[in-house]
Amino acid sequence: MSRQAGLAGGAPAGCKGCSGTASVHVPPEKLERLIQMAVQNRPAASDDEYARRLAVCSGCQGLQYGTTCRYCGCLVAVRASQRDAGCPYPLQSRWESAGPQDAVTS
């Protein structure tokens, strides 16, 4: 199936935001699995950097449902787990403006 197939007749049938029946909330165990997958083949952020990023997200107006960034649609815990990932806040990364980051060497 083509990637465009779901857009042909309007909103895709499985759209969580439009269906009114599916939850946008992600259970902790599923979130943990997604984080493990996200750093399987990419460098992981240190525990301190991960915690720092999530602290920034928790105070950000872009955080929705306690899990999701409104600017990129990512689960912030998954994005924050990847060392070389960035914050998509418009004009200025909130992660960078909030303090030190892990050094990115690759």
In order, the DSSP letters of 38-50 are: HTSSSPBPPHHHH
Among positions 62, 67, 101, 102, the unique one binding ligand SF4 when judged by CB under 6 A: 62
Cα–Cα distance measured from residue 77 to residue 64, given in angstroms and rounded to the nearest whole number: 12
User: Does position 67 bind ligand SF4 by CB under 6 A?
Assistant: no
Among positions 31, 34, 39, 63, the unique one binding ligand SF4 when judged by CB under 6 A: 63
Cα–Cα distance measured from residue 20 to residue 22, given in angstroms and rounded to the nearest whole number: 6
- What is the contact surface with ligand SF4 in residues (CB under 6 A)? 56-57, 60, 62-63, 69, 71, 76, 87-89, 94
